[in-house]
Amino acid sequence: MPVHPRWMLALTGEGPMKLITRTQAVVSRRSVLWTLIVRDLRVRYSRSVLGYVWTILDPLLMSSIYFLVFVYIFKRDDLGHEPYFMFLVVGLLSWQWFSGCLTDTSRSLIQEQKLVRSTNLPRELWVLRVVFSKGIEYLLSLPVLIFFAVVYIARGELHLNGWIVLFPLAVLVQCIALIGIGLILAPITALVTDTQRVVRIVSRVLFYATPVIYAAHLVPHPYDKVTWINPLVGILEAMRAGLFPHDRFPILWGAIAASVVVSVALLLIGVRVFTRLERAVLKEI
């Protein structure tokens, strides 16, 4: 689609609806949202032989590769908490949810442009269905994480602690961050399709800028505090807090607090951007 100057001017138009109004509109159509989520999951696995298995197979294979490379080839035992394989699984499962949402929410309005244009449904539903459907996949992959936790506990290599209560909080914060990012990316990509290529490049770079395969403590000063802008830094820190001892790598409470603040800020910015650009998007698609 050609890009017209009017979408740029939309950002300086009238103020957005109140967040509570948009939320009420979405909640009133929650049955439609659930239908979209179910449809998304069914379509995704309808032609797949392994189906749901791919959800857990990909992060497990990547964890095995990184474990082999860093532990057995490079002989590094200081990249993260022990057991390192468990450390990798936690990070890669979360990253799979994050990266999948970056890609799919950015094109959510383009892929469903006929329905977006022809229905009176809140357009945020198309972003939410991506975040929630992939979030359900993430939750369905957690039994694998629990399985490895039980195995390592039985072997005496893993000891849970009280900070495990932070894990569900981290999942909620990640969901909030992804909704905010999706609400920003979806309308911008609908107006500037090159954004999809930018998202793919940024996603690759962001993987290595996020403590997925290494502990956040290894980022040298003063760049360590800068990385806290990335909400996944604090989210992964919270997810791992209850699974590992913290004698070598203390909990980064500053990163966790920063992830909460940044995620809420992303949500508020996302609602504002989506509301401002909605009309321009409907004219373009």
Domain of residue 279: give its range: 6-284
Q: Using an 8 Å Cβ cutoff, are 216 and 233 in contact?
A: yes
17 assigned to some structural domain: yes
Specify the DSSP class assigned to residue 118: H
Q: Using an 8 Å Cβ cutoff, are 63 and 90 in contact?
A: no
Separation of alpha carbons 230 and 237, rounded Å? 12
For residue 63, the model assigns a pLDDT of 87
> Which of 209, 189, 210 shows the shortest CA–CA distance to 199?
189
For residue 189, the model assigns a pLDDT of 93
What type of residue sits at position 29?
R
In total, how many domains does the chain have?
1
What type of residue sits at position 83?
P
11 assigned to some structural domain: yes
Q: Is 176 exposed, middle or buried (0-12, 13-18, 19+ CB in 10 A)?
A: buried
State both tokens at 62.
């990547």
Helix ranges (H only) for the chain are 6-10, 19-28, 30-46, 53-67, 84-106, 108-111, 113-118, 124-154, 166-191, 195-209, 223-226, 231-241, 253-284
The pTM assigned to this predicted structure is: 0.87
For residue 56, the model assigns a pLDDT of 80
For residue 30, the model assigns a pLDDT of 85
Look-up of token digits 């760049």: 223
State both tokens at 192.
């500037």
Q: What are the φ and ψ backbone dihedral angles of 4, each rounded to 5 degrees?
A: -110, 155
1 assigned to some structural domain: no
Spell out the per-residue pLDDT of the chain, length 285, in tens: 444 444 444 444 443 455 677 788 888 888 888 998 988 888 777 666 566 677 788 888 888 898 888 888 887 878 888 899 999 999 999 999 999 999 999 998 988 888 888 788 888 999 999 999 999 999 988 998 999 999 999 998 888 999 999 999 999 999 999 999 999 999 999 998 888 899 999 999 999 999 999 999 888 888 888 999 999 999 999 999 999 988 888 999 999 999 999 999 999 999 999 989 988 888 887
For residue 48, the model assigns a pLDDT of 61
